Chains A and B, each alone.
Chain A
Amino acid sequence: MLRLTCAALFVSVFTAYLRAESAAPLRFETDVRAILRAHCFQCHGEEPEVQGNLDLRLVRFMHRGGDSGTAIVPGEPEQSPLYQRLRDGEMPPDESKQISKKELRIIHDWIVEGAGTVREEPESLGLEPYLTEEDKGHWSLQPIRRPNVPTQVNPNLVANPIDAFLLSELKKHDLEFSPTAPPRKLLRRLSLDLLGLPPSPESVQSFVDSIASADGAEKIWSVTVDTMLESPHYGERWARHWLDVAGYADSEGYTDADSERPDAWRYRDYVIESFNADMPFDQFITEQLAGDELVTSPLKNLSAADAKRLVATGFLRMAPDGTGGAVADKLQARHDTMADTIRIVSSSFLGLTVGCAQCHDHRYDPISQADYYRFRAIFQPAFDPDKWQVPTKRRVSLYTDEDRKRAAEIEVEAKKVDAQRTSQQKVFISATFEKQLKELPESVHELARAAHETAAAKRTPEQNQLFKKHPNLNVTSGSLYLYDRKAADELKELAAKATQIRATKPKQEFIRAITEQPGRLPATHLLFRGNPDQTRQELQPGGLSVVSLNTSLPRIPVETSDVATSGRRLALAKRLTHPEYPLTSRVIVNRVWRQHFGRGLVETPGDFGVQGMAPSHPELLDWLAVEFIESGWSLKHLHRLILQSRAWRQAVTNHANRNRVDPDNTLFGSGKLRRLDAEIVRDCILDISGKLNTKARGPAVPVMADRVGRFVIGKENSNAGRPGSVIDMKGEQYRRSIYIQMRRSRPLAVLEAFDQPPMSPNCDKRNVSTASTQSLLMMNSELLLTYSRHFAEQLSQLGLDPAERIEAAWQAVYCRHPSALEREATLGFLAEQQSVFEQLADYKAADGKPPAKSAELEALAVMCQMLMGSNEFLYVD
């Protein structure tokens, strides 16, 4: 209901604005319809059963009226039941949905002015929602055109057009940019933003020196940005943002079992590599949506490039998927996976909450339920509920024909050893049997031999009787070792040899992909209430009709002859990456902007619909979107533009006047103090303490529950439910967070504490919390203690002078020198801590042995721990 009120509020403010601007007469479409849509349409028009037979969706219908006659008398609000009912609070019947005085006034004035419309209304309305010009007028559906760059701004502050757009808005409020941040802060900010790792003390120093000495400071800045963009760590940082949107997880979710997705990591690596290579984003979109439709080599013998395209479709396999496990309702589980996939696709590329139209027409945006199922039809050939592939069945092997041939050859070799073993076994058994037989009278030998030749189940009663009497005659492959150890060992060796041979086969690896069965085009039906048991009319594939209103966009075919598959997803990709498509580029540039500035131009990155927020700088958004497309969809170009703007380089400042005018910094007149994301907190701690393992790519580093049930990095090693010894992770525990397994039910404790989002199904915008549980982790966790000690050891290797160690610690953690006061205070602190530890047994020399632990080092470790727990480390300014 509040949504309604909000929408209505927006509309009334909007209409008031229009009136002030034009003083044109009030019109139904521009002034009144949105109010009635929010409060009245559902019962008076949209639902099949129209209350009081009064349909309020068209003025034509109001004149026709309902059970109690006409609804409006133009010029006479007091005689118009529509106005009377609203005024008296009789309608809407829900107290909470009643309209505001302002809205009532608009309806009153509209009737006074003759209850006019902008244009002639249709005779009747079909089943599809009636889309008016005003629906079409929603900002995010307008074609994107490059706006003129404002010129009336202080040229000294303009590094590129971004600044001009922002300054021209600031100027309207008598504000300007804040000064540029000091070099050390700037470099730390840049490094954390682009790489998610702190700059090395050496690079900070050299940056500070060069920017101070050179007169080409801009040039130095630009080179610095470029250098960082070429770092392989860039992809590891920025892929994370996309993986949030894609809902990346290394497990299936949906059920409590939450089974692992062993092959999901290839998609993660694909994203990282694509970002690092600055793959044009339109290609990135296309491969994720329809990489399989671009594949030309046979699935059984994929080329490297095609394998990559297939890996990209892992995007469509990210939704929670319970279809491979035990679920109460298998059909429902399939439909749920499809629904979540559509939710991910639409929030990530379209910025529309298409998922809201699954069970009924979208309540706010002009997306009908039929539109939803047309959109779903695009995916139906790949997600065919009647020919569903469970997760393990949808893997595509990376075996090539060459691999297959090699494997077959090796198998032949192994079979030879198998055969040798089988015949050898026969010989051994026979010999052993005969040996046993010798000890029995000759008379039973024939019977015994016959029994030995016969399978146990088929023996005659007589034979059975004999074996029962002489159980030692029962020589089998399983019991041979009891009689003849040497023979058994010989057989074992042969078996091992076969295994060894088989192990030399090329390792078979798999891709988690989407594929279609060529020629199979399952029908898509509208599902009544979204219920898979209640199918209604068949629908053909289509993009959303509302998006096509203003521009001509490629349509989605039922099938195409260009590719072997249906071609529907490929057509969708073409549509989404078409330069006239109004949403994709706006949505993407807004996401990138948001990550750089901590605030979006649109603060609802996944909802550009009516319920989302309007852009704070619509022209800047469009300018960036056009620039992005014209640069060949280059993300790195976009990064450069943003990072080289003055706006991005501003210091975080605190001006009374700006705080008053723009307390939320929506005008971008200052930098923003931001807490580090979960992964950066962990990665920086690893890096600072000298432990970071920069190995890239590969299977996820596993996560397990520790003694107390906390999820930590490690391989599970339990023996009959009891924890076994800790398995050495061989440095894998020091890898960047993006490579750590993201199992939905096992969030890594340190990442969860700092708001790593649960993927259900994806995340558009992370929560940033401050909780005492985070503080406890920084104070007491094994993790912090361990890395603080590593860090202290590093520092101690620099030399014995505590002041030097302090200096180095400050540079590593804060990227700056300590002040004299800080140094003094820290020296005092170290001495005091050391004296406290010296009182403890572990730190004392005893029985002529040196102390087990160094009190001095421990004190240093505590200092390191406190630095890493401090605000200056956890926030970037």
Chain B
Amino acid sequence: MKRHSKQCTSDSRRHFLASGAMNVSSVALAWLISQNRGMAEVKKPDLQKRVHDTTPKVPPGEPKARAMISLWMQGGPSHHDMFDPKPEMAKYDGKEFPGEIKYDNAAQSSSKVFHSPWKFQPHGQSGMELSELIPHTGSIADDICLIRSMHTGVNNHGQSIRALQSGRTAEGRPSLGSWLTYGLGSESDSLPAFMSLIDPGQLPVLGVENWSNGWLPSIYQGTVVRPREPRILDLTPPSHLKGKAQRRALEYLEQLNANHLTGYPDSTDLQARIASYQLAARMQTSATEALDLSQESKKTQEMYGMHEKATADYGSRCLIARRLVERGVRFVQVYTANQLWDSHGSIASRLPAACQKVDCPSAALVKDLKQRGLLDSTVVHWGGEMGRLPVVQNDAGKAKIGRDHNTYGFSMWLAGGGFKPGHIHGKTDEWGHKAVENVVNHYDYHATLLHLFGLDHQDLIFNRSNRDQTLTDGQPGKVVKEILA
């Protein structure tokens, strides 16, 4: 599976090995994945030198998924208006909400029921009901697994983002992509294992924390791809250095770094930088090629909406995401701009605009992966850190009203990679307020994801300060069997 860059002569590969930093995959796995839980008690003393790399690792379980693309909808897409119809609410529209509401706030907001002004209709064989705001998503209803009972229970953006992106609401933990690349490495040795495709607008809430490696070695950090051309700067060597000159120069650099490393053999930062030069050298050809959308047919480009103003940006980035996983990248996250979905007010205009930006590209991605036979092994995730409340916020006229945060019940969907297609899992209460049936907490979602990658969330450990750390961090995550294909 591992491809060698054309630039790497056998001579230089030997040299990389001699530097001792990054190519000892067999050792890494031995301590990376602890044995079955039953055997964890008799863990052997850790005598092996710890080496961190991104070479592909074989997971202990049977993997369904090999790669993941997360379409990260930060801000809280309104499930009431997109995924979770509550026709019974119509007759209460504008009336006093009879139940209890958990606001973001101690002080109460408006308690007027807000029935969705958008129409729902069933789609596909599965008859999945989705709203008119996302017609393209409707066209992939039979491919997606819609969870209507997501729950994190923390009503702030930052904390709920952390819950979903890094397992816990605490700051400073590694993100999901870092865990996956730590556990599985990458199938590409010429592209970063974890790539973040940011929006041309503002960075999402928490910024760089979204792709932080936390306390995992920095080799597992996400690499940012710029939202406009050139997507990655400095990919082309200057003409006089092309070929042998640069190859020898980098070998020379590696020699310097290897000498320096002998003074600090345990520094994962120094090791990571050595590896980053090796990767950068290979990216010069492979990333240039991977990011070149002109290689795609006009038909494909249009399928992703690249010819329309509203979808051109997100469509391009979804298409890049497909090209990256096709080339062995493990985890790609495609962001929307800061708080795009945070419809506290003016939901009537803001939500349709947000839907229009991502609906066609997201659906195209699933269809495209499917037609290329990649969907079975690629998880596509679509969702944000929260949903919205069933009541009006900012009661200042039809154009201005919105909905407040709700992390007690919201929707997201997954496709491919072993998730059950055309399936709806879980329910919120009659108001779409709280998840009441088959509740899926963020740690259940993470446990399930790792399971599909052949990893057990309790066994994928990183030893930090003499403590074994995991993504779910002791939370009672369970694999949600009902959503597995």
Contact = CB atoms under 8 A, between A and B. Distances in A.
A652 B236 CA distance: 37
Nearest to B283: A772
Contacts of A778: 277
B281 interface: yes
B153 interface: yes
Interface in B48-65: none
A877 interface: yes
Contact of B233 (A528, A710, A826, A833): A710
Interface in B223-280: 223-224, 228-230, 232-238, 240-241, 244-246, 248-250, 252-253, 255-257, 259-261, 263-267, 269-270, 272-274, 276-277, 279-280
Given A708-B229, A770-B218, A780-B234, 12 more contacts: A3-B154, A531-B394, A663-B464, A709-B230, A767-B208, A767-B212, A773-B233, A776-B234, A776-B235, A779-B234, A785-B238, A866-B253
B237 A758 contact: no
Contact of A659 (B100, B266, B280): B266
A346 B245 CA distance: 53
A863 B396 CA distance: 66
Given A652-B264, A779-B277, A769 B208 contact: yes
B252 A829 contact: yes
A49 B232 contact: no
Interface stretch (B5-13, B101-109, B114-122, B352-360): B101-109
Nearest to B273: A770
A493 interface: no
Contacts, number: 203
B234 A96 contact: no
Contacts of B151: 94-96
B90 interface: no
B246 A779 contact: yes
A357 to B, nearest CB: 11
A654 B256 contact: no
A675 B233 contact: no
A822 B255 CA distance: 9
Interface residues of A, number: 75
Contact of B163 (A2, A673, A769): A2
B303 interface: no
Contacts of B34: none
A96 B152 contact: yes
Contacts of B252: 825-826, 829, 863, 866
Contacts of A529: 105, 107, 109
Contact of A775 (B162, B203, B212, B277): B277
Interface residues of B, number: 82
Interface in B152-191: 152-154, 159, 162-163, 168-170
Contacts of B234: 773, 776-777, 779-781
B264 A96 contact: no
B253 A870 contact: yes
Interface string A92-113: 0011110000000000000000
Contact of B256 (A749, A774, A836, A870): A870
Interface string A654-669: 1000011001100000
Interface stretch (A40-48, A399-407, A503-511): A40-48
A697 B465 CA distance: 45
B296 to A, nearest CB: 22
Contacts of B259: 822
A533 B266 CA distance: 56
25 contacts: A1-B154, A2-B170, A42-B106, A47-B108, A654-B264, A663-B465, A708-B229, A710-B233, A758-B203, A758-B207, A774-B276, A775-B277, A775-B279, A776-B234, A781-B234, A785-B238, A825-B252, A833-B245, A836-B248, A866-B249, A866-B256, A870-B253, A871-B273, A872-B260, A877-B264
A133 interface: no
A359 B240 contact: no
* From A369, A770, A772, residue with most partner B Cβ within 10 Å: A772
Contacts of A829: 248-249, 252
Identify the 4 closest CB pairs spanning chains A and B, nearest first: A2-B169, A775-B280, A780-B234, A770-B218
B267 A673 contact: yes
Contacts of A335: none
Contact of B269 (A673, A776, A833, A836): A673
Contact of A97 (B153, B168, B240): B153
B335 to A, nearest CB: 15
B138 to A, nearest CB: 31
A833 B248 contact: yes
Contacts of A2: 154, 159, 162-163, 168-170
A531 B396 CA distance: 12
B224 A773 contact: yes
B22 interface: no
A326 interface: no
A49 B108 contact: yes
Contacts of B233: 708, 710, 749, 773, 776-777, 781
Interface of A: 1-3, 6, 42, 46-49, 51, 94-97, 256, 359-361, 369, 528-529, 531, 533, 652, 654, 659-660, 663-664, 673, 675, 708-710, 749, 758, 760, 767, 769-781, 785, 822, 825-826, 829, 832-833, 836-837, 840, 842, 858, 862-863, 865-867, 869-872, 874-875, 877
Interface in B462-485: 464-466, 475-476
A562 to B, nearest CB: 37
A96 B168 CA distance: 11
B255 A825 contact: yes
Contacts of B154: 1-3
* From A46, A652, A664, A779, residue with most partner B Cβ within 10 Å: A779
Contacts of B202: 760
B73 to A, nearest CB: 20
B107 A48 contact: yes
Contact of B279 (A675, A749, A772, A874): A772
B192 interface: yes
Contact of B107 (A528, A652, A767): A528
Given A779-B277, A780-B235, A871 B257 contact: yes
B221 interface: yes
A862 B192 CA distance: 26
A407 to B, nearest CB: 43
B389 to A, nearest CB: 13
A837 B394 contact: no
Given A709-B228, A866-B252, A858 B277 contact: no
A351 B207 CA distance: 21
A829 to B, nearest CB: 5
Contacts of A769: 208, 218, 221
Contacts of B321: none
A775 B466 contact: no
Nearest to A859: B245
A501 to B, nearest CB: 48
Contact of A95 (B221, B240, B241, B441): B441
Contacts of A3: 154, 159, 169-170
Given A3-B169, A709-B228, A870 B248 contact: no
Nearest to A777: B234
Given A825-B255, A869-B253, A664 B465 contact: yes
Nearest to B465: A663
A822 B246 CA distance: 19
B256 A867 contact: yes
Contacts of B240: 837, 840, 842, 858
A435 B230 CA distance: 64
Nearest to A785: B238
Contacts of B212: 767
Nearest to B108: A48
B219 interface: yes
B270 A862 contact: no
B291 interface: no
Nearest to A872: B260
Contacts of B246: 779
A822 to B, nearest CB: 7
